[in-house]
Amino acid sequence: MSPRVVQRLGRRLSSASLSLPLLSRVLIGSFGLSVLVAAAFALALLAMSDLRSSTNVQAHSKDVSTATLELERVVNDLESSLRYYFITGSPRFLSSWREARRSWPPALEAVERLVASQPAQAAQARQLGALTHSYVTEYGLPFIDIYKVSPDTARSADATREGARRISQIRQELTALLASEDNLASARAASAKREAAQAVSVGIAALVLAALLLLVFAVFLAHGVVRPVRLVAAGASRVAAGDLSTRLPEQGAAELHELTEAFNAMARSLEHGKRELEAQNEQLRQSERMKSELVSIVSHELRTPLAGILGYSSLLLKREFDEEDARRYLEVINAQGQRLSSLVEEFLDVERVESGRIELKEELFDLGPLLQDEARVIGAEAPKHRFDVSVGDRPLRVLGDPDRLAQVYANLLANAVKYSPEGGVIEVRGALHNGAVRIQVRDEGVGIPPEHQPRIFTKFFRAEARESGFAGTGLGLAVSRYIVEAHGGRIGFSSTPGAGSSFWFELPLAV
């Protein structure tokens, strides 16, 4: 079995028991493995015991041969002692014969006992017994008696032939028994060899099976337990290294599922906390930036008009001027006072917008005349600019606060004048556009660099205006956007640095 197959098997095993708790999975796996390994070893033991019994059978064969040869020896003793007795008449041979006569029944009995399980051999043993018995009783004993009376009769050729015939029959039977036992022995040896080979194969197979089962169990443990735990450890290291987006697949046994779920919940809450902290940090940074912007704007924007007011008023107090000069100085003081007042108004507007205290009137009116009037007022103060105002024939009717909407428009006009210091055309278009009233103010001024455009409606943001020497607070557009959006409208712009800007706002057409 290739390692990949074993792995796949392990994976299948572990996925089949996914819903089980880890403890049960390991217990069931260990129990199943023990049973299988025990079965494999039982198989091996069975094969070994077969081997032992075939060895026993071989030993039995040897016993049968030994007992048969012992019987043959006793028969030989019977024959030779009788023959020598008849030839010599020596009582020594007669007593040998008697000894052999006593020995053959137990020798035959031993053979009979050993071959009792083999019917053919048992019959042979019985035949041997009958032949030996008849040799002793029908030949040996009668001729011994005859010898005592007539030794020549006992030694006669007929008598000798009769003895030899009977002994030959017994020997034939003994040879047959030995041959059959030989056949049996070689058959048993062959089967013992086969069984031994089988036992070895079964033993090896059982050991290989046990080893494979252990391997499968190890893969199962590795896949079901070690791998998920390693995954969690790797995930924890990634989180510790700062990668809070780390998530683990929520799968595996019940305990591992719980572990990965808890891990993911922890990572989620850490990530959420980090994001909140980052947002708070950004807010803090932004309000810090705004604070310093506010300080520098207030100090810069308030100082200039205040210096003018203080300078000219102390001049008027200290010296006598003719009426014309005094009036000019008073007009400067008044203009700077106006500027201070509108600055304060802008700051108050922002404060109102942020606290949601800005109140908007709801009047139905035509924006057209307002566009004309406001352009005339501002145009009077901007000698270098030519105003081109077009509002069409149809009334630009909107529902809202005329003063606040005039404030938005005036802010766009004032910016158009302020940010085109070289003068040029300021084009105002009021028209109906896709069911809305669209007002557009275009100038031929300095324009806005693309990198600053996204923040142009942010409070206090002034792009490069301060560095370029333009007065202002960076609040006008922020307040304008709030007013337009509070009327259900939109405000936007397009700008090309060095070529000019085009600001617009749209309000729902009132019917």
Is residue 428 close enough to count as binding ligand ADP by CB under 6 A? no
Which CB, 32 or 379, lies closer to ligand ADP?
379
Can you tell me which of 78, 216, 396, 477 binds ligand ADP, judged by CB under 6 A?
Answer: 477
Q: Is 481 in the site for ligand ADP (CB under 6 A)?
A: no
Q: Are 27 and 190 in contact (CB under 8 A)?
A: no
Name which of 284 and 298 has its Cβ closer to ligand ADP: 298
The least CB distance from residue 394 to ligand ADP, in Å, is 27
Nearest to 387 by CA among 360, 437, 423, 422: 423
Residue 29 or 474 with smaller CB distance to ligand ADP: 474
- To ligand ADP, the closest distance from the beta carbon of 456 in angstroms equals 5
Q: What is the DSSP string of 237-253?
A: HHHHTT-TT------SS
Q: Considering the complex, state which of residue 159 and residue 456 has its C-beta at the smaller distance from ligand ADP.
A: 456
The answer to whether the beta carbons of residues 171 and 69 sit under 8 Å apart is no
- Of 110, 463, 491, 509, the residue at the interface with ligand ADP (CB under 6 A) is 463
Query: Does the protein bind ligand ADP through residue 407 (CB under 6 A)?
Result: no
Binding test (CB under 6 A) with ligand ADP, winner from 415, 428, 444, 484 = 415
Return the number of the residue (257 or 462) whose C-beta is nearest ligand ADP: 462
Should residue 465 be labelled a site residue for ligand ADP when binding is judged by CB under 6 A?
A: yes
Whole-number minimum distance, CB 426 to ligand ADP, in Å?
9
The full length of the chain comes to 511
Nearer Cβ to ligand ADP (225/475): 475
DSSP state of 467: T
Regarding 456 and contact with ligand ADP (CB under 6 A), the answer is yes
Q: How many residues form the binding site for ligand ADP (CB under 6 A)?
A: 21
**Residue 419 within binding range of ligand ADP, rule CB under 6 A:** yes
| Residue span binding ligand ADP (CB under 6 A) among the ranges 46-54, 90-98, 263-271, 443-451 | 443-451
CB 401 within 8 A of CB 361: yes
- Interface mask toward ligand ADP for 358-397; x: CB under 6 A: ----------------------------------------
Binding residue for ligand ADP, selected from 445, 482, 487, 507, defined by CB under 6 A = 445
473 makes contact with ligand ADP (CB under 6 A): yes
Q: Are 397 and 510 in contact (CB under 8 A)?
A: yes
Question: Which one of 185, 476, 482, 507 is in contact with ligand ADP (CB under 6 A)?
Answer: 476
Q: What is the DSSP letter of 510?
A: P
Closest CA to 61 of 191, 176, 186, 193: 186
Of 72 and 301, which CB lies nearer to ligand ADP in the complex structure?
Answer: 301
Q: Evaluate the CA torsion angle 191, 197, 199, 205 in order and state its sign.
A: negative
Give the β-pairing of 424-433 and 385-390: parallel
Q: Does 448 bind ligand ADP (CB under 6 A)?
A: yes
CA distances in angstroms from 92 to 57, 86, 95, listed in the order given = 42, 12, 5
User: Within the chain, how many helices (H) and strands (E) appear?
Assistant: 13, 7
Query: Could you count the other beta carbons within 10 Å of the beta carbon of residue 218?
Result: 14
Q: From the list 140, 224, 228, 474, which residue makes contact with ligand ADP (rule: CB under 6 A)?
A: 474
What sign has the CA pseudo-torsion 143, 148, 150, 155?
positive
Q: Which tokens hold the place of 113? A: 């006992």
- Which residues lie across from 390 on neighbouring strands? 429
Residue with smallest beta-carbon separation from ligand ADP: 472
Contact by Cβ (8 Å): 295, 287: no
Q: Rank residues 312 and 493 by Cβ distance to ligand ADP and give the closer one.
A: 493
| List 132, 202, 501, 509, residue binding ligand ADP (CB under 6 A) | 501
HSE of 123 in the Cβ direction (CA atoms, 13 Å)?
3
Distance of CA 328 to the CA centre of its chain: 84
HEC per residue, 125-139? HHHHHHHHHHHHHHH
Q: Are 411 and 477 in contact (CB under 8 A)?
A: yes
Choose the binding region for ligand ADP from 27-35, 252-260, 273-281, 460-468 (rule: CB under 6 A).
Answer: 460-468
Please tell me whether residue 475 binds ligand ADP under the rule CB under 6 A.
yes
Query: Binding of ligand ADP at residue 462 (CB under 6 A)?
Result: yes
Q: Is 446 in the site for ligand ADP (CB under 6 A)?
A: yes
Binding site for ligand ADP (CB under 6 A): 411, 415-416, 419, 443, 445-448, 456, 462-463, 465, 472-478, 501
